[in-house]
Amino acid sequence: MRPDSRVAVHDALEPADHPTRLSWSVEAVLIAAIAGSVIAAIWGTVPGLSHQTLTRLGDVALAAFAVFVAEYLARLFSAAGRDPDAASRPWQARWLYARSVLGVIDLLVILPQLLHAVGWLDADEARLGAVLALVKIARYAPALPLVISVFRNEGRSLLAALTVMLVLMVLAASVMYTLEHRAQPQLFSSIPACLWWAIVTIASVGYGDMIPVTLGGRIVAGVVMLLGIAMFAVPAGILATGFASELRRRDFVVTWNTVAKVPLFANLDAAGIAAIARLLKPQIVPAHYAVVRRGEPATAMYFIMTGEVEVDVPPNPVRLRAGQFFGEIALLRQMLRTATVTAVTETQLLTLEASDFRKLIDEFPDLRERISRIAEGRLGTPPTPTPPTNPA
């Protein structure tokens, strides 16, 4: 087939890149297939279902399986997609998809059911593949890729914590075997058997199926319980820090891209845009909300990302839209607000606090001049000469 056929299939499977009515329809079918596969696999384990119900569940599972097979083949076919470099070597692009995380999951969803069809797996084992389809929702749920990124970024720290936990479990099981084997030879029969006790004790689950009866065993058990609480707090802290760092990184990237599109910062280099992006804070205001009011102290300057605001200046109010800014006059002249600014629609803003504004214009004199010219133009007065940075 021609390369444009691969592009068309790719666009239908990736609505985030090129959303169309067809791509949304394909996404809806895939999500419905995921839901049907999981529901049929889980509901099918309920005892006492009628033959008619089991037949319908089987039809749903078969339809979902057919959709997943078609999807997998389509993704293999369109793996090159819109990448011009991959278009000349489609088999390499297909191999990259096949060994990616989601590609492996796509295969594992259909493979058990294929093996069940030829008699190599029983129905219960094949059902695992149907339930695994739930992971495919990661393509449409932003939270799951975030989790994967955090685990990938914090892999070394998590591995170190799990290694220490494993060492503690082996040591606890060995000590407990030594202390309890003679008193309870059937329960604490070996160190591998004692590992089960170590796991449920460190996890603070305590099923009660293996309980130390000797004084030494109970002392060790108490120490292991306390250490277990501390050990589980370590990976929890690592993951919490990882999520916070990943969210900050993603917010910074979004803010950086947004700042780069503001005409006022068009002449700044990457370092300057990055410096500004670190200072700006996102804010969303609803329609008819007064962002600033005339006569109030000036605490910030605002950049409009989306939406529209109205500046109440007599005799004719002024509308400002995406890419423009307001609130700079009072900051430059260190005076009270000269006008009320109200959001006409829901508006996304980037806020620059007054202290950060002063740092910014001190660091970038050209930016100060541009802001001053725009402010003076809005006031209808001649531009005020910018004082030299190093007066004699």
Residue 336 near residue 298, CB atoms below 8 Å:
yes
Residues 312, 337, single domain; the answer is yes
Q: Domain for residue 263, yes or no?
A: no
Judge if 7 and 113 occupy the same domain.
Answer: yes
- The token duo for 334 is 């260190």
Q: Decide: helix, strand or coil at residue 352.
A: strand
128 shares a domain with 42? yes
Pair (107, 229) in one structural domain: no
Q: Decide which of 217, 248, 279 is a domain's last residue.
A: 248
Within-domain flag for 17: yes
Here the tokens at position 145 are 């890729």
Residue 7 domain flag:
yes
* End residue of a domain, out of 141, 174, 198: 141
Q: How far apart are alpha carbons 71 and 74 in whole angstroms? A: 5
Claim to verify: residue 21 and residue 133 sit in the same structural domain: yes
pLDDT in tens, the chain (392 residues): 455 788 888 888 876 555 788 888 999 999 999 999 999 999 999 999 999 999 999 999 999 999 999 999 999 988 876 566 655 677 888 888 899 888 999 999 999 989 988 889 888 888 988 999 998 988 887 677 778 788 888 889 999 999 999 999 999 999 999 999 999 999 999 999 999 999 999 988 888 899 999 999 999 999 999 998 888 889 989 989 888 888 777 776 666 777 777 777 767 777 777 777 778 888 889 999 999 999 999 889 898 888 999 998 877 888 998 878 888 888 888 888 888 999 999 998 888 888 888 888 888 887 778 888 887 777 665 444 444 433 33
CATH label of the domain that carries residue 365:
2.60.120.10
Residues 119 and 18 in one domain: yes
> Which residue among 115, 141, 167 closes a domain?
141
Which residues is 352 bridged to in the sheet?
A: 301
| Position 390 in a domain | no
- 159 and 133, same domain (yes or no): no
Domain membership of residue 260 (yes or no) is no
Instruction: Report yes or no on 215 lying in a domain.
Output: yes
Give dist(CA 215, CA 206) in Å, integer.
18
Rg (CA), the chain: 31
Residues 164 and 129 reside in one and the same domain:
no
Same domain, 131 and 189: no
Check: CB of residue 33 under 8 Å from CB of residue 104: no
Please give the angle made by the CA atoms of 378, 383 and 389, to the nearest 5 degrees. 125
Tally the domains of the chain.
3
CATH code of 181's domain: 1.10.287.70
Instruction: Quote the domain boundaries for residue 182.
Output: 155-248
Q: Same domain for 126 and 201? A: no
With respect to residue 361, please indicate whether it lies within any of the assigned structural domains.
yes
pLDDT of residue 384: 46
Q: Are residues 201 and 322 in the same domain?
A: no
pLDDT, position 213: 94
Are 90 and 131 found together in one domain? Answer: yes
